[in-house]
Structure 1
Amino acid sequence: MPDPPQPVALLEVVGLSGSLLRHAPRLRAFAERAGQRELQPVFPAVTCSVQSTMLTGRPVGGPEGHGVVGNGWFDRRLAEIHFWKQSNRLVRGPSAWEEKTGHGPRGAVSCANLFWWFNMATTAGVAVTPRPQYRADGRKVPDVWTKPPGLRDELQRELGRFPLFRFWGPGSDITSTRWIAEATKRVVDRHDPTLTLAYLPHLDYVLQREGPGGTSVPAEVAAVDAVAGDLLDHLEERGRRVLVVSGYGVRAVDTPLYPNRILRDAGLLAVREEGGREVIDLHNSRAFAVCDHQVAHVYHQPGLELPAFPRTSPHPIDAEHAGDTVLEADEGCWFSYDFWPEGRDDLAPDYARTVAIHAKPGYDPRELFLGLSKPTLAWKILKRKLGFAQPLDVIPLDATLVKGCHGRAVAGEQGPVLLGAGDGPRLALERVRGLLLH
């Protein structure tokens, strides 16, 4: 019989970099005790691609790639843009917990996945992931999906309903990260998984709002450090070998780029009018861009000559869902999905001013900002509670508000780090999976 496996926990403290560790005393002490290494990120350095790389040990593209080209893409067969899909079947290649090790009922390790992405239709034994209810009256009710199903009620009875509106949107703060950490403790204590994955997102949102040099960044790093440090202690007390990872660093940006406006001006992107506003007409467009932080997937007809895209460079990805042309934004720039003419925000679609991660044809970090006064917001919420059809059109359209972004494969002091695996040279992100199994 093989020796029993060493239980491992992998905590993703999103956006943490070597340069920010000076504000994180507990994680810094852990790094001094257990080691710190730089990671070589992948392109695109965005959530879904990065997590899939770490868990499969595969690159993004190529015949052996996992195929997750970003947080969103255009499905050519359905002719639809999809963002933030959750099925684990979208990831090619076995994840770390599916590796045959001689442990568990089928020779695989047991896994509990707390909020890492692609966490539905999963072979992991325990899963917790955000899954709001979309009611017929237009309300979005915070909730989670869990495996096993009873865990959903158990966690929300003990911790309160998952704070979805503090997880993403203009109200996002440390509250959701604390909820995830507390849920992780309970899952470990009651289910005793061999591999525990926990996603602590708070710092990512702060850095996108303010940039790494923002005035509140030191205090916010200290806040997530307290949550992560407390969880780390809990896990180590229960015999876990803990690794702390950040899949990418966030760098300062000051220039939004608008590839869809360039394509429209070139006569390649078509729009249709709906209720006095514009939406992209994908079926009549010869080219359009799916924007995702600092990567833009441009889907276009074969042989089409594209216009120039200033302050970008091509970065091909050989994968089914990748754009026909893939663009990487220059340093200091990021891609905004806007397709309506500059200065004509009155033509922006109705979803543009709302938190609508599944409706927008691109990732929109402006959803982290509030574009009206808090009394006006309170009045809108009250009218919704009273039964009026009141859209929460509270998001500003000024793309220059965004001060931090990621997506470029940047390493070094502002790049991703791995804590707890000893000291050594820079490590490729693909090798995190092997470390887990080792």
Structure 2
Amino acid sequence: MTSVSQTRSSIPRVVVLLVPGLRACDLPLMPSLTRLISRGGDAFDFHPSLPALTCPVQAAISTGTLGSVHGIVANGVYDRGLQKLEMWTAPDTAIQSPRLWDHIKSARPEVRTAAWFLLESKGATADLVCMPAPVHNPDGSETPWCHSRPTPLYGPLREKLGDFPLHKFWGPLAGIESSQWIARSFIEASRTDPPHLSMVYLPHLDYASQRQGPDSQAALSACAELDGVIHLLTDEFDVMTDGMTTYLVIGEYQIVPVSHTIHPNRILRDAGLLHVTQGPNGELLDMPGSEAWALADHQVSHIFLRDPTDLRCHKKVVALFQGREGVAAVLEGSAIDRAGLRHARAGDVLVVSSSESWQSYFYWLDDALAPKFARTVDIHRKPGYDPLELFFDRAAGGIPLNPALVRGSHGAVSLDAPKPGLFLSSKPIAFQSAHSTSDGKQRIIRDIDVAGIISNLYEIPSPNNC
């Protein structure tokens, strides 16, 4: 008779490292990562779905579905009924497809899983979960904290490692310390009973590439810094698991150099479609009162119409952006369907940047009227993503309002000139896909392929027949 411990020891162990911004040309700077694939593994181009942004790509990876199914079409979720936007706060329940750990557990309950710092994992049912969840105090201050599963888990991690350095995870001081804490805390949480499937988010390459550009010296130095973190994590986990772990490393998207900015909300405002309210803390975007407004997110904007059936407004919005400098595509109708983004949370019109351009959420026409939160790190109140939060304006004593500072971005996906991320495996993997080279060898992995690849390692069917 096979014991539970014998059964669990025979289960494959897989660690998935999610590394945004990782490129094939970075590997010579990352000897520890290169050694992982020298064990007999391989490297593939990784193609994210549109938009190539953190939350949508992680949702596609962890469900095997497109945005039209899992529902995460941006880094924010706009509820049309409530006319309310939530940026970076959506819980696990916002994802409308089963997550990979649930899919595997349903077939093999003995498999132990971890979702470590994945976005939109608050409330996830993996055995081990940790993600930032600072306590917002009435006076406006924040108390460092993390949501964890089991709930008491963060306590001993905090005692061992100190509080998670949230200011090093995002903001002007963002740096290697956050990825170091994530890796070390994952190891500490795994010591007593290492999970069989782990997904770990290491964001460090995001920072310098957006500040100074993906080919800057700072960005190249960041590769070496992160390689040290990967060395620590894989060495420690190998000791715990007798070196029997398969590592999958996924560069979620590639960050590209940018030198141009589009301001969709200002364009809509100039056209009389977007309106603001005046207050003591500056102008605020009036979503209910606007005929159209844009959720600007890196290189993609979702434009929401107050009345989606208003063809006049729809045509006017499309005409405003078609052919404009910095715009590669304006998606509407069937084009949104083909992109796999037909969902109630998606915009009525999508604006996709050309490679060298990114899109700002700015809606005011005079910086003197900018809302107070514009000069702060406030990821929840801004109606879009703000990479300027990676900078600090000493003269103003806050976040600058100069979009020309931003040197790298991502999100746009071009079928004609793709900028793929990278997929590395420490051991050979087998899967079926339509993308192969002339010799029949698979060289492209899509984000929606990953859940099936991992399921195959546990000898269970792919989720959602992806």
Distance in 1, Cα, partners of 2:22 & 2:288: 41
Number of residue pairs matched? Answer: 413
Corresponding residue of 2:45? 38
Contact 1:37 1:422 in 2 (8 A): no
Deviation at 1:296, TM superposition (A): 0.1
Give unpaired runs (5+ residues) of structure 1.
377-392
Contact 2:77 2:90 in 1 (8 A): no
The 1:345/1:74 distance shift into structure 2, 3 A limit, reads: same
Name the SS for the 1:206 alignment partner: helix
Contact 1:290 1:337 in 2 (8 A): yes
> Could you list the per-position Cα deviations for residues 282-313 of structure 1 after superposition, in whole angstroms to 9, with x for gaps in the alignment?
11100000001111000012221324221321
Contact 2:255 2:410 in 1 (8 A): yes
Moved over 3 A (4+): 1-4, 100-104, 410-414, 421-424
Contact 1:371 1:396 in 2 (8 A): yes
Corresponding residue of 1:78? 82
The 1:224/1:11 distance shift into structure 2, 3 A limit, reads: same
Instruction: State the TM-score, normalizing by the size of structure 2.
Output: 0.85
Corresponding residue of 1:308? 320
Corresponding residue of 2:224? 222
Distance in 2, Cα, partners of 1:141 & 1:14: 27
> Could you list the per-position Cα deviations for residues 209-233 of structure 1 after superposition, in whole angstroms to 9, with x for gaps in the alignment?
1111212222111000111122122
Which amino acid counterpart does residue 298 of structure 1 have in structure 2?
I
Corresponding residue of 1:248? 253
Corresponding residue of 2:161? 159
Distance in 2, Cα, partners of 1:277 & 1:334: 24
Name the SS for the 1:5 alignment partner: coil
Name the SS for the 1:397 alignment partner: coil
Which amino acid counterpart does residue 76 of structure 1 have in structure 2?
R
> Could you list the per-position Cα deviations for residues 90-139 of structure 1 after superposition, in whole angstroms to 9, with x for gaps in the alignment?
111111111256765xx363211110111112111211000111111111
Q: How does 1:2-401 map to 2 (within 5 A)?
A: 4-33=10-39, 34-61=41-68, 65-100=69-104, 107=109, 109-237=111-239, 238=241, 239-275=244-280, 277-300=282-305, 301=307, 302=309, 303=311, 304=313, 305-306=316-317, 307-309=319-321, 310=324, 311-312=326-327, 313-315=329-331, 316=336, 317-341=341-365, 344-372=366-394, 394-401=398-405
Which amino acid counterpart does residue 202 of structure 2 have in structure 1?
L
Name the SS for the 1:430 alignment partner: helix
Deviates more, 1:403-412 or 1:393-402: 403-412
Which amino acid counterpart does residue 233 of structure 1 have in structure 2?
D
Name the SS for the 1:260 alignment partner: helix
Contact 1:17 1:414 in 2 (8 A): no
Distance in 2, Cα, partners of 1:220 & 1:232: 18
Task: Find the partner of 1:404 among 383, 408, 415.
Answer: 408
Contact 1:245 1:419 in 2 (8 A): yes
Contact 1:211 1:404 in 2 (8 A): yes
Give unpaired runs (5+ residues) of structure 2.
430-441, 457-466
Which amino acid counterpart does residue 387 of structure 2 have in structure 1?
P
The 1:407/1:108 distance shift into structure 2, 3 A limit, reads: farther
Deviation at 1:413, TM superposition (A): 9.0
User: Percent of aligned positions with the same letter in both sequences?
Assistant: 33
Name the SS for the 2:423 alignment partner: strand
The 1:190/1:413 distance shift into structure 2, 3 A limit, reads: farther
Corresponding residue of 1:431? 449
Which amino acid counterpart does residue 333 of structure 1 have in structure 2?
S
Deviates more, 1:32-41 or 1:180-189: 32-41
Distance in 2, Cα, partners of 1:236 & 1:409: 36
Instruction: State the TM-score, normalizing by the size of structure 1.
Output: 0.90
> Could you list the per-position Cα deviations for residues 291-341 of structure 1 after superposition, in whole angstroms to 9, with x for gaps in the alignment?
011110000122213242213212322011000111111110011000111
Name the SS for the 1:58 alignment partner: coil
The 1:220/1:413 distance shift into structure 2, 3 A limit, reads: farther
Contact 2:36 2:247 in 1 (8 A): no
Which amino acid counterpart does residue 443 of structure 2 have in structure 1?
P
> Could you list the per-position Cα deviations for residues 222-278 of structure 1 after superposition, in whole angstroms to 9, with x for gaps in the alignment?
000111122122223323221111111100011110010110001000011001621
Name the SS for the 1:28 alignment partner: helix
Aligned-residue CA RMSD (Å): 1.9
